[in-house]
């Protein structure tokens, strides 16, 4: 009892010592963390990425469907943008950032043979990642992405130049894949955002196309 009273008395004498660690109370330059959060919330996701995520989320909610994500060079931006939409728990089944070849062995069904034959991202490779992750997470759809964000090339072939990205969507009744060049050169951050936007746009196009053609869709666009 004396120990408890002594401790309480010590705290009452020195209240200024409580919760004073700068990482708890303040952000950089003395700015309150809650204030910084409010400022940054207007910046993330970037407007075009936010719009793409909201379009996909709206479609999925209206249809009672779900999505999972297998991304690499986008670095989690596809998942983060979907999770930023209200009610994301109704549509989002989970996601993996399969940035390293080792992570693909651990979580995406790759073997050492896949690594030995790896020669950069391709639409077919990304479709395989999406198909494997969809089987594990049981989403109505799985969107896959793998690209070369930069700032330098990872090889001499076109698919290893900064700005290249391969994309795929796998659904219950079909799949689609494509590749493109963002035209942004070696701007790593801009490419990452562009990859995520393109991936979500492909999801939207795929869902709308299955509505118009009776539910069967497959191939490369």
pLDDT tens, N- to C-terminus, the chain (221 residues) = 444 444 443 444 434 433 343 333 334 444 454 555 454 556 899 999 999 999 999 999 999 999 999 999 999 999 999 999 999 999 999 999 999 989 999 999 898 888 899 999 999 999 999 999 999 999 999 999 999 999 999 999 999 999 999 999 999 989 999 999 999 999 999 999 999 999 999 999 999 998 877 655 566 65
Question: What SS3 state is found at 132?
Answer: helix
Options 2.20.25.90, 3.30.2130.10, 3.90.950.20, 3.40.50.300; CATH for 47-211 is: 3.90.950.20
Question: What SS3 state is found at 97?
Answer: strand
HSE toward the beta carbon, residue 174, CA cutoff 13 A? 16
Write down the pTM of the prediction. 0.80
- Give the whole-angstrom CA distance, residue 21 versus residue 73: 36
Query: Residues near 70 by Cβ (< 8 Å), separated by ≥ 6?
Result: 95, 96, 98, 108, 126, 129, 130, 132, 133, 142, 143, 144, 145
Phi-psi region of 65 (alpha: psi -120 to 50; beta: other; left: phi over 0): beta
Query: Residues near 89 by Cβ (< 8 Å), separated by ≥ 6?
Result: none
């Amino acid at each position: 009892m004396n120990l408890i009273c002594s401790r309480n008395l010590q705290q009452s004498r020195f209240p200024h010592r409580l919760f004073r660690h700068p990482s708890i109370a303040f952000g950089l330059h003395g700015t309150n963390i809650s204030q910084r959060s409010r400022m940054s919330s207007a910046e993330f996701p970037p407007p075009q990425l936010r719009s793409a995520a909201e379009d996909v989320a709206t479609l999925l909610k209206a249809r009672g469907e779900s999505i999972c994500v297998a991304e690499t060079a986008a670095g989690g931006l596809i998942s983060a943008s979907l999770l930023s939409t209200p009610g994301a728990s109704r549509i989002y089944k989970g996601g993996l950032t399969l940035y390293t070849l080792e992570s693909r062995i651990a979580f995406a069904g790759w073997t050492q043979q896949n690594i030995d034959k790896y020669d950069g991202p391709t639409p077919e490779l990304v479709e395989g990642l999406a198909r494997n992750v969809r089987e594990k997470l049981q989403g109505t759809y799985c969107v896959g992405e793998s690209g070369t964000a930069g700032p330098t090339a990872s090889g001499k072939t076109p698919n290893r130049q900064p700005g290249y990205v391969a994309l795929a969507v796998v659904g219950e009744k079909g799949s689609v894949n494509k590749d493109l060049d963002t035209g942004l050169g070696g701007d790593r951050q801009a490419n990452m955002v562009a990859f995520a936007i393109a991936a979500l746009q492909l999801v939207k196009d795929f869902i709308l196309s299955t509505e118009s053609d009776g539910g069967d869709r497959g191939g490369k666009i």
